[in-house]
Amino acid sequence: MNLGMPNGLTIRNSKPSDHSKIISILKDWWGGRDLTWMLPKLFFVHFNNTSFVMEKDGELIAFLIGFLSPALPKEGYIHFVGVHPDFRGFGIGKYLYQRFFKICKENNRDTIRACTSPVNKGAIEFHKKIGFEILKGNAEIDGTRITLDYNKPNDPKVLFKIRI
Amino acid sequence: MNLGMPNGLTIRNSKPSDHSKIISILKDWWGGRDLTWMLPKLFFVHFNNTSFVMEKDGELIAFLIGFLSPALPKEGYIHFVGVHPDFRGFGIGKYLYQRFFKICKENNRDTIRACTSPVNKGAIEFHKKIGFEILKGNAEIDGTRITLDYNKPNDPKVLFKIRI
| Nearest-neighbour CA in chain B from A89: distance (Å) | 29
Name the region of B127 (left: φ>0; alpha: ψ -120 to 50; beta: rest). alpha
Question: For residue A2, is pLDDT > 70?
Answer: no
Inspect the interface and report whether the beta carbons of A47 and B23 lie closer than 8 Å: no
Output the CA–CA distances (angstroms, integers) from residue A140 to A130, A136, A144, A145, A160, in the order listed. Answer: 21, 9, 5, 4, 14
Q: In terms of C-beta density within 10 A (0-12 exposed, 13-18 middle, 19 or more buried), how is residue B60 classed?
A: middle
Q: Which residue among B38, B46, B72 sits closest to A70, beta carbon to beta carbon?
A: B46
Question: For residue A90, is pLDDT > 70?
Answer: yes
Nearest to A63 by CA among A54, A74, A72: A54
Question: For residue A7, is pLDDT > 90?
Answer: no
Inspect the interface and report whether the beta carbons of B151 and A40 lie closer than 8 Å: yes
Nearest to B26 by CA among A151, A20, A146: A151
Q: Looking at per-residue confidence, does A53 or B3 come out higher?
A: A53
Nearest CA in chain A to B49: A71
Q: In terms of C-beta density within 10 A (0-12 exposed, 13-18 middle, 19 or more buried), how is residue B132 classed?
A: buried
Cβ-based neighbours of B44, under 8 Å, separated by 6 or more: B14, B15, B16, B18, B19, B22, B51, B65
Nearest to B79 by CA among B122, B118, B109, B35: B35
| Nearest-neighbour CA in chain A from B7: distance (Å) | 29
| Nearest-neighbour CA in chain B from A6: distance (Å) | 26
For residue B162, the one-letter residue type is I
B153 contacts on A by Cβ (under 8 Å): 23
Q: Which residue among A37, A41, A72 sits closest to B150, beta carbon to beta carbon?
A: A41
Nearest CA in chain B to A67: B70
Predicted local confidence at residue B1, as pLDDT = 47
Q: Which residues of chain B have pLDDT under 50?
A: 1
Predicted local confidence at residue A1, as pLDDT = 47
Tell me phi and psi for residue B5, to 5 degrees: -75, 135
3-state secondary structure of A36: helix
Q: Which long-range contacts (CB under 8 A, 24 or more apart) does B103-107 make?
A: B103/B50, B103/B68, B103/B76, B104/B68, B104/B76, B104/B164, B105/B164, B107/B68, B107/B76
| Number of A–B residue contacts, CB under 8 Å | 66
Predicted local confidence at residue A3, as pLDDT = 61
Q: Are A114 and A78 in contact (CB under 8 A)?
A: yes
DSSP per-residue codes, A89-151: TSSHHHHHHHHHHHHHHHTT--EEEEEE-TT-HHHHHHHHHHTPEEP--SEEETTEEEBTTSS
Q: Does A37 touch chain B (CB under 8 A)?
A: yes
Q: Provide the whole-model pTM.
A: 0.94
Q: Does B131 touch chain A (CB under 8 A)?
A: no
Q: Does B34 touch chain A (CB under 8 A)?
A: no
CA neighbours closer than 13 Å in the CB half-sphere of residue A90: 15
Q: In this structure, what is the dihedral angle of CA atoms A7, A9, A13, A15, given to the nearest 10 degrees?
A: -170
For residue A50, the one-letter residue type is T
Inspect the interface and report whether the beta carbons of B42 and A77 lie closer than 8 Å: yes
Predicted local confidence at residue B4, as pLDDT = 64
Predicted local confidence at residue B7, as pLDDT = 77
Predicted local confidence at residue B139, as pLDDT = 97
